[in-house]
Structure 1
Amino acid sequence: MGFTIAQGLMLVLLIASTMAVSTARPFGNSKNTQTSNRIIVGDSYHWNYGFNYTEWAIKHGPFYLNDTLVFKYNPPTPKTFPHSVYLLPNLQSFIKCDLRNAQMQGNTTQGAGEGFEFVLKRPQPHYFACGEHDGIHCLNGTMKFFVLPIDNY
């Protein structure tokens, strides 16, 4: 299981559009009044299986430094699959859904209620994926996405 051609093209489009926005400068006043945002990952769908978060990230961007991503998901029950959130170290790990060097950001219960928050503090790509069931939710290409936060100027 790997990337489909469409998913690969979407990834290239996301990288290109993020880089274009990050290098753009506003005309006139060089101070941008953009403040940090609190963004619920997946909007009303939250962090659940069957939703394409790569597409969501493309449509939702750009993301800025100090934006807060909020991951909301139900805790596991006998009738539901558990979810978690991992931060993968690089693009290769993201593409392959290789969780060996990933850092868990939210375990299977931390997404309940108000969810848990992740603040985008570094101006570099942040690669997120669900790590449950040996990464199968990541491997099918849906429960993973990345953002490249840009400076608010």
Structure 2
Amino acid sequence: MVRRRAAWAALLVALAACAALPATTTANKISINWAPNTNYTVWEQTHGPFYKGDWLVFYYTTGQADVVEVNESGYNRCDASNAIYNYSKGRSFAFELNQTKTYYFICSFGYCPGGMRLAIKSQKLPPPSPPPSAHDRSAALARSHAGLVLYAAAAVLAALLRML
């Protein structure tokens, strides 16, 4: 019984500690169904914003598409001749937005003029939310104490019910 109480107390302390942790901002994995006859200008507008550290994962049909990173001129002309990077193996390609800049991607299989090109502007990751003020901390502490009391009451009630 003493061990069980100690386990409950440890669990409650761990839950309270997790609740007190600040929210963090992390990178995202963005899936792209890289397919012919798709207007990726509209796609970019509805799936943004994009941040440094995000991952773009292009999914495409092997032998029917590729992912080519080009400069702005190559993007505007659908020209892959001076590609920065070209990937055509497998059925997917993961690309990290590791700088704050505009990235340009096209398909060199002839689908670029039909809209199979994508410009992604990567931004700095927004800063994490500020730590709570003293008033917010006291309110959070009061909420966590109320939660602890509720958990303790539930544990005591469960123990009493087992005795019956």
Structure 2 unaligned regions, length at least 5: 1-22, 127-164
| Structure with the higher helix share, 1 or 2 | 2
The reply to whether residue 122 of structure 1 matches residue 113 of structure 2 is no
Alpha carbons 2:79, 2:108 under 8 Å: kept: no
The root-mean-square deviation of aligned C-alpha atoms, in Å, is 1.8
Q: 1:92 aligns with which of 57, 73, 81?
A: 73
Alpha carbons 1:69, 1:118 under 8 Å: kept: yes
CA distance in 1, matches of 2:66, 2:74: 17
Q: Secondary structure at the match of 1:105?
A: strand
Equivalent position of 2:111 in the other structure: 137
Q: Secondary structure at the match of 1:148?
A: strand
CA distance in 1, matches of 2:62, 2:79: 24
Equivalent position of 1:60 in the other structure: 47
Equivalent position of 1:51 in the other structure: 38
Alpha carbons 1:124, 1:149 under 8 Å: kept: yes
| Structure with the higher strand share, 1 or 2 | 2
Identity %: 31
Equivalent position of 1:75 in the other structure: 62
In the alignment of these two chains, the number of paired residues is 105
Equivalent position of 2:82 in the other structure: 101
Q: Name which structure has the greater RCO, CA cutoff 8 Å, separation 6+.
A: 1
CA distance in 2, matches of 1:148, 1:61: 9
Equivalent position of 1:150 in the other structure: 123
TM-score by length of 2: 0.59
CA distance in 1, matches of 2:74, 2:60: 23
Q: CA deviation at 1:54?
A: 1.3
Q: CA deviation at 1:34?
A: 2.5
Q: Secondary structure at the match of 2:122?
A: coil
Q: CA deviation at 1:143?
A: 0.5
Structure 2 letter corresponding to 1:48:
A
CA distance in 1, matches of 2:38, 2:47: 14
Runs of 4+ in 1 over 2 A off after TM superposition: none
Q: Secondary structure at the match of 1:146?
A: strand
CA distance in 2, matches of 1:58, 1:106: 24
Structure 1 unaligned regions, length at least 5: 1-31, 77-81
Alpha carbons 2:54, 2:96 under 8 Å: kept: yes
Alpha carbons 1:84, 1:104 under 8 Å: kept: no
Structure 1 letter corresponding to 2:24:
T
Summarize deviations over 1:100-119 as a string: whole Å, max 9, x none: 21133321x32x2xx22100
Q: CA deviation at 1:92?
A: 2.2
CA distance in 2, matches of 1:106, 1:145: 15
Equivalent position of 1:34 in the other structure: 25
Larger radius of gyration: 2
